[in-house]
Amino acid sequence: MEALKALEVKNLSCRYRPNSRWILRDLSFKVRAGEALAITGPSGSGKTTLAHCISGIIPSRIPAELYGSIRADGEDLSDKSIRERAGAIGVVLQDYELQIFGLTVEEDLEMGLKEEDAAKLEWILEFFELKKYRDHYVHELSGGLKHRLAIASIMLSNPRYIIIDDPLANLDWKSRRIVAKTMELLKREGKGIIILTRKLRGLEDVVDRVISLRQNPVEMDLEQFNEARYLKAGMITMVNP
């Protein structure tokens, strides 16, 4: 019987210096193919650190004390380099401008693209509404357009799992709509998505499950998450049967 396809993080702990506080402590979860998992929490709760751990940026480029295991479809990634993980995991970082290397939109998207994939490039430009910007210099683009470009580049590399850090932050309504539409498409294509965010607003139709990092990590489905949020805000009252 074929093993269930999933990206699984088990007992992950990370801190940046010995004897400092643990940014992540004994965190375990899995995201299945075709599913979107939101991991929420305030600034400093470890969301970006988690993205760095899964992608291999920690400890390859950022030194840290790291324990636990990370597996993609059963394959242990713990000793894999960033490049070796790229086929399984794509990451759109919070500082997405660091992931854009081309001078123009088209040049950036063409990096690493095979000649026979020209039709795919045209489709991506159309889907992300970047066609009219294809010859524009990247430094001339708005933040929303750069964010779309970073996500488009990851889609072209076709990883099995995608991590998006703060996907809707500082975006205009048009870019928000396109990013949400992109995640819905990725789910239909069988990609597993991890969304790292402070707020779920605008992503309710995309997310299947939620993990809150506010104190001890707690996993909920979307209905449970909303109920807990409303209870905290005093918008509803729990009544014993």
Collect all residues with Cβ–Cβ distance below 8 Å to 90 and sequence separation of at least 6. 154, 155, 157, 159, 161, 162, 163
pLDDT digits (tens, 9 = 90+) for 139-174: 999 999 999 999 999 999 899 999 999 988 888 898
Q: How would residue 217 be classed by pLDDT, with cut points 50, 70 and 90?
A: low
The three-point CA angle 35-39-40 to 5° equals: 140
Instruction: Set out the domains of the chain in order of their start, with CATH numbers.
Output: 6-96+159-233 (3.40.50.300)
Radius of gyration of the chain (CA): 18
Quick one: tokens of 212?
A: 């809150």
Note the pLDDT of residue 169. Answer: 84
Residue with tokens 């409303």: 230
CB 225 within 8 A of CB 212: yes
pLDDT at 238 over 50: no
- Other Cβ atoms less than 10 A from the Cβ of 213: the count is 20
Q: What is the mean pLDDT of residues 205-224?
A: 74
3 state DSSP class of 28? strand
